[in-house]
Amino acid sequence: MSLFHEMKTACADDWRRYTHHPFVEALGAGTLPEAAFRRYLVQDYLFLIQFARANALAVYKSRRLRDMRAAQGALSAILDVELDLHIRVSARWGLSPGDMEAAGEAPATVAYTRFVLDCGMVGDLLDLRVALSPCVVGYGEIGARLLRLDPAADHPYRDWIAEYGGAAYQAVARAAGAELDALAERAATPARRSELEAVFAKATRLEADFWQAALDD
């Protein structure tokens, strides 16, 4: 079993609460309130900026050229793929990058992104990759599942589902999972497994909190 699937299995209840959160289920059904989706779009934009910083940190934390290039690829995926995707979706809802940047980070956004950055600052590259993986790989899983529901042409969130379920983002998610597993083969000693599982589980819970914040505000 790969490290990612081992960690996912170890926190199966948390993983399901994240990937099947009421926000996600309502988004898939098209019943999510527009105000909640707008709040999510704003905070996810700010979230991605911090995740770009985390991937830049991954370049610094890398000790091999191969790892540096992988981290550079992940950073490019955020700056050149996911942020562009997000800006396109947000524009359809009347939100510009300036609007989103002016809003400021919500507590749930700060809690999650700083946890990831702290994992990278205090730990090594593997700690950072583990903290990043619930977001990167989880969104791919969510997008693929919701796309299989075949949302109708007039589904209000069809664009979001199509973007995260589509080929470009699915390739990003697969690359992130493969990179994590390759790194784990070198650095995930048996003694570290429980620590890595704890980091993964915490990041997964913070993902669920991020969805919930969009519903609660």
Catalytic residue, candidates 82, 141, 179, 207: 207
Query: Is 11 a catalytic site residue?
Result: no
Rounded Cα distance between 213 and 217, Å, is: 6
Rounded Cα distance between 137 and 120, Å, is: 18
Catalytic residue, candidates 82, 119, 135, 179: 135
Q: What is the 3-state secondary structure (H, E, C) of the chain?
A: CCHHHHHHHHCHHHHHHHHCCHHHHHHHHCCCCHHHHHHHHHHHHHHHHHHHHHHHHHHHHCCCHHHHHHHHHHHHHHHHHHHHHHHHHHHHCCCCHHHHHHHCCCHHHHHHHHHHHHHHHHCCHHHHHHHHHHHHHHHHHHHHHHHHCCCCCCCCCHHHHHHHHCHHHHHHHHHHHHHHHHHHHHHCCHHHHHHHHHHHHHHHHHHHHHHHHHHHC
Query: Is 207 a catalytic site residue?
Result: yes
Catalytic residue annotation: 135, 207
